Amino acid sequence: MITESKKLIHAAVLFMLLVFPLSAAASGHVVVIDPGHGAANKGVTLSRNVHEKDVTLAVARLVKKSLSGVNNIRIRLTRLDDRDVSMANRKKIVERSNADLFISLHVNAGFGQNAEGYEIYYLGSTVPSAKKSNSGEILKDMEQTRRLNNSVRFAQIVQKNVGRVFPRKGRGLRNAPVLVLQSLTAPAVLLEAGFATNLKDRKKLKDEKIQKDIADALTKSIKEYFSTGGAS
Ligand SMILES: [Zn+2]
């Protein structure tokens, strides 16, 4: 016979079993992936029907899918389909998600037909002001340094893993004032996954298998970044 109080206890246990795994997942690391461009803002052209916006979305979706079963990592995309999102709104999504990491995806073009391979951009530190008079400013500096260190650490992990998809073609890490990375509080990188203006790269970027390889390299990098610390 089940008494009323036992029923209550059963209900409470069931409630806890249901809620706790969810809250554990909810407290995991949040990664915002930003598939560049969208809709009429097509980005660079890879063929008549394939543009930068298609490749960035395909790769971002694949990363989200691969990590959907990973308990402590949650992936949010700045767009889920073929729509354009303003730069300000992309940044808003990063801030509102309280992101631990931000990855913007693009495809390169230009510098002649021989330029090939990926590039990874991160935002270098702004020049620190000469005098730090209060603890708030010092704290802000420490936060910026930590953010930069983590951005570089993640960029290095991506370089190693994406380098396997585009062997010996890495154009390296670049510290540059990239607009979409500016004024974010999360560590952030921008991956230019190959050149649309290079014949070999263009072929690779349109290849669904290579898109999956790029996504796998990013998935691996995200897992590695959070398992090697310093990324609370
Ligand atoms: Zn782009």
How many residues in total does the chain contain? 232
pTM reported for the whole predicted model:
0.83
Cα of 42 vs centre of ligand 1, distance in Å, is 9
In a domain, 76, yes or no: yes
Residue 131 has a pLDDT of 61
In a domain, 55, yes or no: yes
Cα of 207 vs centre of ligand 1, distance in Å, is 18
Q: Which residues surround ligand 1, an ion (CB under 5 A)?
A: 36, 43, 106
Residue 23 has a pLDDT of 41
In a domain, 4, yes or no: no
In a domain, 73, yes or no: yes
d(CA 10, CA 59): 45
Ranges of residues in the chain with a pLDDT under 70 are 1-27, 125-133, 168-171, 230-232
Residue 137 has a pLDDT of 83
In a domain, 100, yes or no: yes
Quick one: DSSP state of residue 159?
H
d(CA 33, CA 75): 7
What is the per-residue pLDDT across 127-186, written as a single tens digit (0 to 9) for each? 555 566 678 888 888 888 899 999 999 999 999 999 888 776 666 788 888 888 988 999
Within 82-153, strands assigned E span 101-108, 119-122
In a domain, 7, yes or no: no
Of 35, 28, 51, 64, which Cα lies nearest the Cα of 216?
64
Cα of 78 vs centre of ligand 1, distance in Å, is 14
Neighbours of 50 (CB within 10 A): 16
- The number of domains in the chain is 1
Cα of 101 vs centre of ligand 1, distance in Å, is 19
Amino acid at 179: L
In a domain, 232, yes or no: no
Residue 176 has a pLDDT of 84
Residue 231 has a pLDDT of 47
In a domain, 13, yes or no: no
d(CA 181, CA 150): 14
Whether the Cβ atoms of residue 90 and residue 80 lie closer than 8 Å to each other? no
Cα of 181 vs centre of ligand 1, distance in Å, is 13
Q: In this structure, what CATH number is given to the domain that contains residue 77?
A: 3.40.630.40
What range defines the domain where residue 157 resides? 30-227
